[in-house]
Chain A
Amino acid sequence: MGKTIAEKILSEKSGTDAYAGQIVVANVDYVMVNDVTGPIAFREYEKLKTKDLKRDRLVLIPDHYVPNKDILSAEQAKEMREFASKHGIENYYEVGKGGVCHQVMIEEGFAAPGRLIVGADSHTCTYGGINAFSTGIGSTEACAAFTTGRLWFKVPETIKVELTGGFVNGACGKDLIIKIITDIGVDGANYRVFEFHGPGVANISVSDRLTVSNMAIEAGGKGGIFPCDRLTEEYIRGTAKGEWKAVEADKDAKYHSVLRYDLSKIVPMVAFPHLPENGRPVKEADVKIDQAYLGSCTNGRIEDMRIGAEVVKGRKVADGVRFLVVPASQKVFRQMIDEGIMQVFLDAGAFVSGPTCGACLGGYMGILAAGEKAVSSTNRNFIGRMGDKNSEVYLAGPAVVAASAVAGKIVTPEQLEGQ
């Protein structure tokens, strides 16, 4: 019987003939933890009193509360730094040399086609955008994985997503994934993975694919895997570490279900509070905002920054609105300077900072007060996600976020033209 991409990768990495529903123990290529999830894993490791450690496969990336937001987070970040030093972990990305973990995992070439990667962060599923099987795990099991090099996996069922056409109407990857989540619900893919197929795939940029895969978890998904094509190869050329192997599904693979989308019918979407499944076309929204946020592992890549800059160029951020621009990595930050994008944002009256997860999870650098509303290019709009429990987060793509910053309410760039 044929196999899905998930079944193929888990078969190869476990040395078994794996199909959906089975539990396998598989070799992982990389394990990543961040400053929030790392300490629990480090403490479990020290309790083991073992010398076993897969040093080369462990990646430590502080990003949630760094640069340190306060004394407690400073202590926490120190715990990771000391663990890296004590155990000789070379893949440690200090502030100023890294950024948001998932962006760093891709830029530094840990993520590549055909790999099995786990990370103690739920958005680890992002690397499915470049044909990897990657998924979020907890801290204790991250410790198990970097100690033994192995972890248990339930082989997931796969939802096939058939894509045709190409984006028009200013729509992008973010709009597609919000549409999918809205259609199937926040648990519509629980325990399952998405696998993307069809002629539409070639019309989606790799940056947009990463956005789509990033939010697979917001439908409960274990991952969202794209095929490896020419665009993928160009995207990872020169960065992917070591050997990698593209994996495609068998023609006779068995799927849980099939979803079909014509990309030309997708319109700019916004997910209303307090769940990502509350998507509506932006044109139906009438929401005044206090803050606009462009950044995060979902939409903090250079492509997103270019889109945002294009919209605000020659315009000003609306009075009474804070526009926060937070590139996902030091590399993106530098590219913004090199390409003149920084100048555009600063001229418009945006606040631009170096990379951090900060405000996305309500950590710091952009917390919302009671009653405030933000439009955000991030991935979650749960109750109190970016601040007070009576604040509201509206999720949208980079162009809508930038246009909304200028308009002071949630709009598309097209609506901005008309003003």
Chain B
Amino acid sequence: MDKIQGKVWRFGDNVDTDQIIPAERLVSANLDHLDDFIFEKVRPGFAQQVGKGDMIVAGKNFGCGSSREHAPLSLIEAGFSCIVAESFARIFYRNSMNIGLLLVECKVDAAEGDVISVDPDKGEVRADGKTYTFPQYPAFISEMVRAGGLMNLVKEGRL
């Protein structure tokens, strides 16, 4: 996985999937423009401010709540390259890694607007002159990410 860098949007603990994308947007007609609705209830206008390659830095339990894959999908469509959080809720973690949204489980001090860099293979985040480390992904998950996601494993008969 390539080293990436991006501009930070800062969030706190327990960012739930209803905040990321409200339930009333979950209809298939919206599937090609889910990014229009990200954080619309809690940060109105957010969708218009996000740029390609931006990152989210958050606290504990990011993505808690519903199993809606619309949550990571909307973040991918909005252009986010990576979400860095102290911890992720389990289903959000699975969904993201299955479909190619990079998650980094790491407690990082960064302010909104900072530019940070993430090296997934080395397990390092650099922010504000400091280096933070995070553990390697389990072998199965690294292999899935390298294959380009879960459905590629299915296509290749490897699940």
Given the complex, which residues of A lie within 8 Å of B18, measured CB to CB?
361-362, 380, 382-385
Query: Which residues 134-176 in A have Cβ within 8 Å of B in the complex?
Result: 136-141, 143-144, 147-148, 150-152, 154
* A183-B29 Cα distance, complex, nearest whole Å: 41
Contact B14–A187 (Cβ < 8 Å): yes
Contact A141–B27 (Cβ < 8 Å): no
Contact B95–A140 (Cβ < 8 Å): yes
Contact B87–A140 (Cβ < 8 Å): no
Chain B, Cβ-Cβ closest to A188: B61
Query: Which residue of A25, A124, A186 has the most chain B CB atoms within 10 A of its CB atom?
Result: A186
Contact B42–A383 (Cβ < 8 Å): yes
Interface presence of A229 (CB below 8 A): no
Interface presence of B31 (CB below 8 A): yes
* Given A120-B67, A362-B22, A138 and B27 contact (CB-CB distance below 8 Å): no
Contact B151–A362 (Cβ < 8 Å): no
Given the complex, which residues of A lie within 8 Å of B94, measured CB to CB?
137-138, 141
Query: Which residues 200-224 in A have Cβ within 8 Å of B in the complex?
Result: 217, 220, 222
* A48-B141 Cα distance, complex, nearest whole Å: 21
Contact A72–B41 (Cβ < 8 Å): no
Interface presence of A303 (CB below 8 A): no
Chain B, Cβ-Cβ closest to A74: B27
Given the complex, which residues of B lie within 8 Å of A44, measured CB to CB?
151
CB distance from A105 to the nearest CB of B (A): 15
* A220-B154 Cα distance, complex, nearest whole Å: 28
CB distance from B158 to the nearest CB of A (A): 9
Q: Which of A32-40, A250-258, A282-290, A327-335 is near enough to bind chain B?
A: A32-40
* Given A23-B138, A220-B61, A36 and B154 contact (CB-CB distance below 8 Å): no
Selected from A37, A122, A141, the residue in CB contact (under 8 A) with B65 is A122
Contact B151–A122 (Cβ < 8 Å): no
8 pairs, CB–CB < 8 Å, chain A vs chain B: A37-B68, A40-B69, A75-B27, A138-B99, A148-B159, A186-B14, A190-B61, A380-B65
Interface presence of A389 (CB below 8 A): yes
Given the complex, which residues of B lie within 8 Å of A48, measured CB to CB?
151, 154-155
Query: Which residue of B89, B90, B138, B140 has the most chain A CB atoms within 10 A of its CB atom?
Result: B90
Contact A144–B60 (Cβ < 8 Å): no
Report A70-101 CB contacts with B as 1/0, cut-off 8 Å: 00110110010000000000000000000000
* Given A144-B150, A220-B61, A383-B18, A25 and B95 contact (CB-CB distance below 8 Å): no
* Number of A residues with CB within 8 Å of any CB on chain B: 53
Interface presence of A121 (CB below 8 A): yes
Interface presence of A363 (CB below 8 A): yes
Chain B, Cβ-Cβ closest to A222: B90
CB distance from A389 to the nearest CB of B (A): 4
Interface presence of A305 (CB below 8 A): no
Interface presence of A275 (CB below 8 A): yes
Contact A362–B24 (Cβ < 8 Å): yes
Given the complex, which residues of B lie within 8 Å of A148, measured CB to CB?
154, 159
Interface presence of A191 (CB below 8 A): yes
Contact B31–A39 (Cβ < 8 Å): yes
Interface presence of A409 (CB below 8 A): no
**Other than the known A140-B95, A384-B18, what 18 A-B pairs have Cβ atoms closer than 8 Å?**
A23-B141, A36-B27, A36-B68, A37-B68, A43-B31, A64-B26, A75-B29, A121-B67, A122-B67, A140-B69, A141-B150, A143-B154, A144-B154, A222-B90, A361-B66, A382-B65, A383-B16, A385-B18
Chain A, Cβ-Cβ closest to B140: A23
Chain B, Cβ-Cβ closest to A72: B27
Query: Which residues 351-392 in A have Cβ within 8 Å of B in the complex?
Result: 361-363, 380, 382-385, 389
Report A182-194 CB contacts with B as 1/0, cut-off 8 Å: 0000110011000
Contact B90–A138 (Cβ < 8 Å): no
* A120-B41 Cα distance, complex, nearest whole Å: 24
Chain B, Cβ-Cβ closest to A124: B67
Selected from A47, A79, A122, the residue in CB contact (under 8 A) with B66 is A122
Report A52-78 CB contacts with B as 1/0, cut-off 8 Å: 000000000000110000001101100
Selected from B19, B66, B73, the residue in CB contact (under 8 A) with A383 is B19
Report A113-128 CB contacts with B as 1/0, cut-off 8 Å: 0000001111010000
Interface presence of B28 (CB below 8 A): yes
* Given A120-B67, A187-B87, A384-B18, A140 and B98 contact (CB-CB distance below 8 Å): yes
Contact B23–A361 (Cβ < 8 Å): yes
Given the complex, which residues of B lie within 8 Å of A363, measured CB to CB?
23-24
CB distance from B50 to the nearest CB of A (A): 20
Given the complex, which residues of B lie within 8 Å of A37, measured CB to CB?
67-69
Given the complex, which residues of B lie within 8 Å of A119, measured CB to CB?
67
Contact B151–A140 (Cβ < 8 Å): yes
* A389-B87 Cα distance, complex, nearest whole Å: 25
Interface presence of B91 (CB below 8 A): yes
Given the complex, which residues of B lie within 8 Å of A222, measured CB to CB?
90
Given the complex, which residues of B lie within 8 Å of A141, measured CB to CB?
94-95, 98, 150
Given the complex, which residues of A lie within 8 Å of B58, measured CB to CB?
none
Report B36-77 CB contacts with A as 1/0, cut-off 8 Å: 000001100000000000000000110011111110010000
